[in-house]
Amino acid sequence: MSDSYVILDRDGVINIDSAGFIKSPAEWLPIDGSLEAIALLNEHGFKIAVITNQSGIERGLYDLAALAAIHDKMRQLVSAAGGGIEAIYFCPHGPDSHCNCRKPKPGMFLTFASDRGADLKNTYSVGDSIRDIQASMAAGCRPLLVKTGNGLQTIQNNPQLNVPIFENLYDAATHIISTS
């Protein structure tokens, strides 16, 4: 049997998002309860894959070394909370690159599934933007929306959106473990 994963968007789900992009470790600040949510999912047998658009790379706002330092900080804080992140996939391209990885395209989800042998139709994803939901649906995952980050705006702009909605990642994690 393949491992169970939960796919998480990063900005606005795990950490506080910024319209000015997260360009350095100092700017990466966790949303209340998100680190504990990852630990809770781990305790219940779920591994975590982070799938994130990082167009700030192509925009020249930060480089790959800065992104690696940001992810080191994220992993350290998750670890201090008792959890772990199994894999991180990021798209460094901008919206005009027409790559296959940038969400709403499902490319990173499909690469992840291929790398890890994950069963996407039984994999939850948690996101705050419509792109997260669209990519998850295109990949055949089970998308959940949180109200943190862009979440409230996503709900307002997509009133017909038919996905479960949660206050934050901890609330979504509590739901996921209750259904497993």
If one asks whether residue 50 binds Zn ion (CB under 5 A), the answer comes out as no
- Residue among 15 and 123 whose Cβ is closer to Mg ion: 15
99 binding partner (options Zn ion, Mg ion, none; Cβ < 5 to 8 Å by kind) = Zn ion
Q: Does 144 bind Mg ion (CB under 5 A)?
A: no
Give the one entry of Mg ion, Zn ion, none that residue 12 binds, where binding means its C-beta sits below a cut-off of 5 to 8 angstroms depending on kind. Answer: Mg ion
Q: Confirm or reject binding of residue 11 to Mg ion (CB under 5 A).
A: yes
Strand partners, 30: 15
From the list Zn ion, Mg ion, none, partner contacted by residue 14 (C-beta under 5 to 8 A by kind): none
Q: Is 148 among the residues that bind Mg ion (CB under 5 A)? A: no
Q: Based on CB atoms, which residue is closest to Mg ion, 13 or 77?
A: 13
Q: Which of residues 122-141 bind Zn ion (CB under 5 A)?
A: none
Whole-angstrom CA distances from 19 to 12, 27, 63, 105, 150 are 11, 12, 18, 22, 10
Cβ atoms 144, 175 nearer than 8 A: yes
> CB under 8 Å to 155, separation ≥6 — which residues?
145, 147, 161, 165
Shortest reach from residue 47's CB to Mg ion, in Å: 20
Residue ranges in 70-99 that form contacts with Zn ion under rule CB under 5 A = 91, 93, 99
CB of 129 to Mg ion, least distance (A): 5
How many residues appear in the chain? 180
Instruction: Report the DSSP beta bridge partners of residue 149.
Output: none
Catalytic residues: 9, 11
Give the binding site for Zn ion (CB under 5 A).
91, 93, 99, 101-102
